[in-house]
Amino acid sequence: MPRRTVWHPFTQHALEDNVPTITRGKGAWLETDDNRRIFDAISSWWVITHGHRHPAIVAAVKDQIDKLDQVIFAGFTHESAEKLAEKLVAITPVGLEHVFFSDSGSTSVEVAIKMALGYWRNIGHPRSRIAALEHGYHGDTIGTMSAGARGVFNAAYEPLLFDVIRIPFPHAGREQETFDALEAACRETPVAAFIAEPLIAGAGGMLMYSSAALAEMKRICERYGALFIADEVMTGWGRTGTTFACNQAGVTPDILCTAKGLTGGSMPLAATLATSRIYDAHYSEDRARTLFHSSSFTANPVCCAAALANLEIWENEPVLDRIAKVSEMQEQNLTALVESSSRFLNPRRIGTITAVDLDVADGGYLAAAGPALRAHFLAQGILLRPLGNTIYVMPPYCATGPDLSLVYEAIRSIP
């Protein structure tokens, strides 16, 4: 394969060189430079919610950039960020009252970990141990890789990663093992924070668990004073059927991370929300208690304007109705798919997300089937990016019945 100037993420260029050039996106569809149309069945890596180029978001971006493109956020503020913070506090679980902006899901989680450690240090009872749910993926910075599952993703960087307490995943029927392990970890070693993706581990294989298990893990953390960090980077903004996955368990995390769908998927922006006790532990005349984190583009005005437009779509359009409709179509298609062949194992759905495991000789993220499946789907005009032999569908909320029929027909036609 020829060497490329552009180095693409999660791409082995020595094996894969079929990189289509996308020239346009609208709704749930992408267009290539050779006039092919591709259905975006994974919402461009889980970010697009209402569809590509939603008119309200496009208009807000154009309007904002005509007024203010960028300003340092240390010591300055702007209207879009202030309004966005107010709306985020209103739409997220009750009790999250402070908003720290960053620019990606990874950095939102990195900030959350730093908030947690800073909290314990600033109140005079330092704790440094982080517990994390098995199979988690929280990003690709050093702190987030440390909290995430260890494996091929981060093996080369192992010397840089810190140890975490790994809590077994609450598989159906085995939830008590999770609760016992979390309680033992908190009892034996003071835990600064426990981090989990609520209800579904995304990159870990689209593994799903119950809202009751989520609520019990939160209760255990409260019992032992451990902070609970909800990584809602993927699960937020309706993917699991409710605005945030934590809503289904009726829990308010101490810290919540959001990104991806925050701007409707149009612009890179993230936020880490915290309760008052986290904020107050950093609020001091002692400058050493400052939360020392920033990026050059923190709370970029154009990105904040896009996010504000997204929040207004949630306020003014029947977004949850669309989510319910897509969820219903997903369930129907998943049922029909599994009935059509015994090759599709462990069918599962939560909200708008479905997943099945293809029966192959070698499973896991590096399963040989992975690249072949991507190529097959692309040839059918479908963007799907299986996690090894795990095929998942996570469409934008504007997806129609005919759109999804094309997706599942492509899955059924796997050679």
Task: Give the domain CATH number at 153.
Answer: 3.40.640.10
Mean pLDDT, rounded, for 18-32? 95
Please state whether the predicted TM-score (pTM) of the whole model is above 0.85.
yes
Choice among 142-156, 185-199, 241-255 with the minimum mean pLDDT: 142-156
389: its two tokens: 């032999």
By the 10 Å C-beta count (0-12 exposed, 13-18 middle, 19+ buried), 342 is classed as exposed
On whether residue 262 sits in a domain, the answer given is: yes
Nearest one of 331, 337, 322, 346 to 399, comparing CA atoms: 322
Domain span holding position 351: 25-50+319-405
Output the pLDDT for position 145: 95
Examine the pLDDT at 3 and tell me if it is beyond 90: no
Query: Is residue 301 predicted with pLDDT exceeding 80?
Result: yes
List the CATH number of the domain containing 388.
Answer: 3.90.1150.10
* Residue 294 within any structural domain of the chain: yes
Residue length, the chain? 415
| Nearest by Cα to 306 from 82, 103, 56 | 56
Average pLDDT rounded to a whole number, residues 53-69: 98
Using 50, 70 and 90 to split pLDDT, how confident is the model at 248?
very high
Three-state helix/strand/coil letters over 104-129: CHHHHHHHHHHHHHHHHHHCCCCCCE
Is residue 415, in this structure, part of any structural domain at all?
no
pLDDT (0 to 100) of residue 365: 82
Check whether 152 has a pLDDT greater than 90: no
Which residues, 6 or more positions from 310, have their beta carbon under 8 angstroms from its beta carbon?
49, 50, 57, 237, 261, 262, 263, 264, 266
- Last residue of some domain: 283, 316, 349? 316
Cβ atoms of 193 and 80 closer than 8 Å: no
| pLDDT at residue 376, rounded to an integer | 96
Reply yes or no on whether the pLDDT at 2 is more than 80. no
Do 326 and 192 lie in one domain? The reply is: no
Task: Indicate the number of domains in the chain.
Answer: 2
In a domain, 208, yes or no: yes
Average pLDDT over residues 340-347: 97
Least reliable range by pLDDT among 210-219, 257-266, 292-301, 357-366: 357-366
Q: Is the dihedral of CA 340, 27, 247, 200 positive or negative?
A: positive
288 and 392 together in one domain:
no
* Of 301, 316, 331, the domain-final residue: 316
Q: Same domain, yes or no, for 194 and 231?
A: yes
Q: What is the pLDDT of residue 237?
A: 98
14 located within any domain: no
pLDDT of residue 246: 98
Q: Quickly state the pLDDT bin for 254 (edges 50, 70, 90).
A: very high
pLDDT at 60: 98
Q: Taking a C-beta distance cutoff of 8 angstroms, is the pair 367, 360 a contact?
A: yes
Mean of pLDDT values over 241-270: 98
User: Does the pLDDT of residue 99 top 90, yes or no?
Assistant: yes
Residues 352 and 397 in one domain: yes
Do the domain assignments include residue 9?
no
The predicted pLDDT at position 364 comes to: 83
* Distance in angstroms (rounded) separating the CA atoms of residues 228 and 256: 9
Q: What is the pLDDT of residue 16?
A: 81
What are the angstrom distances between the C-alpha of 64 and each of 69, 71, 102, 305, 377? 7, 12, 19, 6, 38
Which residue type sits at 414? I
Whether residue 294 is predicted with pLDDT greater than 80 in this model: the reply is: yes
Task: Output the pLDDT for position 367.
Answer: 85
- Whether 17 has a pLDDT exceeding 80, the answer reads no
Is pLDDT above 80 for 18?
A: no
Structure confidence at residue 363 (pLDDT):
83
Gap between the Cα atoms of 38 and 25, Å rounded: 9
Query: Could you tell me if 129 and 266 lie in one domain?
Result: yes
Cβ atoms of residues 344 and 195 within 8 Å: no
- Same domain (yes/no): 71, 193: yes
**275 and 339: one domain?**
no
Claim to verify: residue 125 and residue 258 sit in the same structural domain: yes
**% of the chain with per-residue pLDDT over 90:** 93
User: Which residues, in sequence order, are CB contacts of 124 under 8 Å at separation 6+?
Assistant: none
Range 50-56 average pLDDT: 98
| Token pair of 154 as six digits | 């981060």
Task: Tell me: pLDDT of 273 over 80.
Answer: yes
Confidence of residue 4 (pLDDT cuts 50, 70, 90): confident
DSSP string, 38-78: EEETTHHHHT-SS-BT-HHHHHHHHHHHTT-S----SS---
Exposure letters 254-279 (e unless 16+ CB within 10 A, then b)? bbbbbbbbbbbbbbbbbbbbbbeebb
Mean pLDDT, rounded, for 254-272: 98
- The stretch 41-49 carries a mean pLDDT of 98
Last residue of a domain, one of 300, 316, 332: 316
Question: 312 and 365: one domain?
Answer: no
Confidence of residue 277 (pLDDT cuts 50, 70, 90): very high
What gap in Å lies between CA 334 and CA 355, rounded to an integer?
A: 8
Same domain, 248 and 288: yes
Q: Is 230 helix (H, G, I), strand (E, B) or coil?
A: strand
The amino acid at 369 = A
Looking at residue 160, the DSSP 8-state letter turns out to be G
Same domain, 136 and 186: yes
The pLDDT value recorded for residue 87 is 98
- Sequence-distant (6+) residues with CB within 8 A of 282 are 115, 118, 119, 122, 289, 290, 291
Q: What is the pLDDT of residue 380?
A: 97
216 and 234 in one domain?
Answer: yes
pLDDT at residue number 311: 98
Q: In this structure, what token pair is assigned to residue 42?
A: 């994974």
The pLDDT of residue 250: 98
The mean per-residue pLDDT over the stretch 17-22 comes to: 87
367 lies in some domain: yes
Phi/psi at 46 (5° precision): 75, 15
User: Is 107 part of any domain?
Assistant: yes
Residue 391 has pLDDT above 90, yes or no: yes
Angle among Cα 40, 367, 358 to the nearest 5 degrees reads 65
Degrees (nearest 5) of the Cα angle 367, 368, 371?
Answer: 105
